[in-house]
């Protein structure tokens, strides 16, 4: 992969009512490369509530016509946008690595998956049907119809800056809603590319609107404006709780939030597989995934063998710029993330856990201008420790010993989160029982805690989600529609 060279820093605009426009206050902010904080990826609009209000008004104005547009026409636009993304795969993947930091292979995978998501909803959205109900009146027909809600706010994070917006925006649009989209200020360029593709694919004006800027400045109106019928958000639990509190009684919310995901390793487990799953789930994407493995609960009789294998595989990881050949661990996304991870590493030491590998910031030579940290492994962790209870969102793994399956389940469930969980075992009894006992919305056996199919529902329980509507799959359409029951007599 040849890194695309840039010679000029471009200023990118908001997209409102079918036009690319500057913020009303003419203020901007910079997006920088986390591998090299001195490299500016782009300049973006520091929007105000007035900009958001104009965007919402445009979406509300466009809704009646778009909601009546045939599903096949909506689908054709999504499919064309998917074609555009794929035709620019190398360019967008390169920009994604520059802006977010993940290795180029992962970036290319995200672009491809996002295109697949658009196509998936272009097809599945045309298959939505209501129900017909049997009744005693032979001169009456009773059915249900599914209708779009109206204007939807889409607020997304920086860790999957293309695939998460795609899996929210595509089902919203195919079901006839209009959208106001605010991405993370750490990754606005990749979000811009998605909107650009939809624009070039022929999206009518006002149907998709895009505003960048600080959540402090524009976030509240995206939730409280009377025209907003639904808010879909992915991010921290604290931010999600704040959004949920602000939303009115008649505004739907879909919150996919934090996780503290366990991987249980039983005494019969393949230790090599267990170590590989830990590294892939906990350290890939620099630990910056809500489903990332952050706790490993291992049976005491295999603990030493497992730790030895884990450290060996972790040492083999190559840390660096995502464009560098063989790099598997990129930088953290920003300085705030770096400071947060380093803070928790110190907390772990202070709490009495043993840091057996990593945890130090890399700041010399090729690392000096990036946000790099060596993946950290803690042992002798007690489940009441902060590093075992709180989401770190970085490459830090806490290894906790258990004496049997029952204790492992008790430890795994003893957190406020319930997003993803996995077990490594060759015992089918353990495997089946685990799927029933674990408190998580995504449950796996002999697989990483990370990753989900685009055609399968995704979401958490407890403080990992509002537990209302799932994302992804055909269930991802439900959030964006409401049911109308129709009685026709004749």
Q: Annotated active-site positions, please?
A: 256, 290
Longest Cα pair distance anywhere in the chain, in angstroms? Answer: 81
- Both structure tokens of 82: 């998917």
Residue 446 to residues 278, 280, 427, 449, Cα–Cα distance (Å): 11, 12, 11, 9
Q: How far apart are CA 329 and CA 318, in angstroms?
A: 6
Is the alpha carbon torsion for 317, 318, 322, 325 positive or negative?
negative
Taking alpha carbons only, the member of 364, 352, 359, 438 closest to residue 392 is 359
The DSSP annotation for 236-261 comes to -HHHHHHHHHHS-TTSEEEEE----E
* Integer Cα distance of 323 and 366 in angstroms: 13
Measuring CA to CA, which residue among 232, 217, 235, 126 is closest to residue 181? 232
Q: Is the distance from CB of 119 to CB of 174 less than 8 angstroms?
A: no
Residue count (the chain): 490
Rounded CA-CA distance 453/475 in Å is 13
Give bridge partners of residue 261 from the DSSP assignment: 293
Structure token pair of residue 212: 């960048």
Under 8 Å between Cβ of 332 and 372: yes
């Amino acid at each position: 992969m040849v890194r695309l060279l840039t010679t000029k820093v471009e200023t990118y605009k908001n997209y409102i009512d079918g036009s690319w426009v500057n913020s009303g206050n003419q203020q901007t902010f910079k997006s920088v490369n986390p591998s090299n904080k001195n490299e500016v990826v782009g300049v973006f609009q520091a929007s105000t509530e007035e900009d958001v209000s104009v965007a919402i008004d445009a979406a509300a104005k466009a809704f009646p016509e778009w909601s009546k547009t045939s599903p096949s026409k909506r689908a054709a636009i999504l499919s064309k946008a998917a074609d555009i993304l794929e035709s620019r795969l190398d360019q967008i993947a390169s920009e994604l690595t520059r802006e977010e930091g993940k290795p180029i292979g992962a970036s290319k995978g995200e672009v491809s998956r996002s295109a697949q998501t658009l196509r998936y909803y272009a097809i599945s959205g045309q298959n939505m049907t209501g129900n017909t109900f049997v009744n005693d009146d032979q001169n009456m027909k009773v059915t249900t119809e599914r209708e779009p809600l109206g204007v939807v706010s889409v607020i997304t994070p920086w860790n999957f800056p293309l695939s998460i917006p795609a899996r929210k925006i595509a089902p919203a649009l195919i079901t006839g809603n209009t959208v106001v989209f605010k991405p993370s200020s750490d990754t606005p360029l990749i979000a811009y590319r998605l909107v650009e593709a939809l624009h070039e694919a022929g999206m009518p004006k006002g149907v998709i609107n895009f505003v960048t800027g600080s959540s402090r400045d524009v976030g509240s109106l995206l939730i409280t404006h009377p025209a907003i019928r639904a808010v879909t958000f992915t991010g921290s639990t604290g931010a999600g709780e704040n959004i949920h509190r602000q939303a009115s009684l008649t505004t739907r919310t879909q919150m996919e939030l934090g996780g503290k995901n366990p991987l249980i390793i039983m005494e019969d487990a393949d230790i090599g597989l267990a170590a590989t799953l830990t590294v892939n789930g906990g350290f890939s994407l620099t630990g910056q995934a809500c489903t990332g493995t952050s706790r490993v609960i291992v049976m005491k009789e295999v603990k030493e063998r497992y730790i030895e294998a884990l450290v060996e595989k972790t040492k083999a990881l190559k840390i660096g710029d995502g464009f560098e050949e063989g790099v598997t661990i990129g930088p953290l996304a920003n300085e705030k993330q770096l400071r947060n991870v380093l803070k928790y590493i110190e907390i772990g030491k202070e709490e009495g856990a043993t840091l057996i590998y990593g945890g130090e910031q890399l700041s010399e030579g090729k690392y000096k201008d990036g946000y790099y940290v060596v993946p950290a492994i803690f042992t002798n962790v007690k489940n009441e420790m902060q590093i075992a209870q709180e989401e770190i969102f970085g490459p830090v793994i806490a290894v906790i010993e258990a004496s049997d399956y029952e204790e492992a389940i008790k430890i795994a469930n003893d957190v406020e989160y319930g997003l993803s969980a996995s077990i490594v075992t060759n015992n089918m009894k353990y495997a089946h029982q685990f799927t029933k006992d674990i408190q998580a919305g995504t449950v796996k056996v002999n697989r990483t805690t990370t990753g989900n199919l685009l055609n399968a529902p995704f979401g958490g329980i407890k403080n990992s989600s509002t537990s209302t509507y799932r994302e992804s799959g055909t269930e991802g359409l439900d959030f964006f529609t409401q049911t109308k029951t129709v009685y026709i007599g004749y």
